Amino acid sequence: MEVTNLSLEMLREAAWNPNQLDEKMLGKLKQGITRYGLVENLVVRPQDGYFEVLSGNQRLKVLAELGIETVPCIVLELNDAEARLLTQALNHIHGVDDLGLRAQLLREVLSQIKQEEVLLILPETSGNLTSLASIGQEDISRQLQNWQQSRLTKLSHLKFQLTDNQKIVVEKAITCFLPSARENKSDNPTLRGQALYLLCQSYLRKECEYGK
């Protein structure tokens, strides 16, 4: 594996890469790069006299807007199939936050950095950020226990694509059910997952009663 500085003029986006960011998230990415610099190398492969970007297409757009001329890149020699496989892996393999530990982290951040600055970089809305940061120590202890339970519980992961307005509504609805999720005994150790389940359960009960 080789790491080298390459000119942006030598880099090309992978047109087949399905990973996209909307303008709002691109703006947050730009704020992050402006504040901290490029903290993660692009991953590229030689292709037709240029270098095709396998990981970092969105960062490439932002770097071009910022007028950056050269960037550090990890250069790999891959055929088409291997390049596409690696790109999908880099796009989709990631961890899941422990909510209690994340709340503690956010409180520490917000004690030293203004919320307005934090919202410029993180994907959360103002309401969601406040809700996360307000989770107490008892909740953190519960989440630590749940983390252990989650290692033994088989959970399914769901993915949804939402507009910004739809995301705000969904986040508000889930936040409303967080208190009930904390009190409810369940084999689902994730607080937000349990809140979503209770939200759907409540809706179905009301619909069934209405339809009688």
Is this structure's pTM higher than 0.85?
no
Residue-range domain boundaries for the chain: 2-92, 99-211
CB atoms within 10 A of CB 183: 7
- The predicted model gives 94-106 an average pLDDT of 75
Q: Could you tell me which CATH class the domain 2-92 is placed in?
A: alpha beta
- The amino acid present at 150, given as its one-letter code, is S
Q: Give 9-26 pLDDT, tens digit per residue.
A: 999 999 898 888 888 888
109: helix, strand or coil: helix
Instruction: Compute CA 75 distance to the chain's CA centroid, rounded to the nearest angstrom.
Output: 25
Q: Give 46-89 pLDDT, tens digit per residue.
A: 999 999 999 999 999 999 999 999 999 999 999 999 999 999 88
Closest by CA position to 146, among listed 105, 111, 100: 100
Helices (H) and strands (E) in the chain, counts: 9, 5
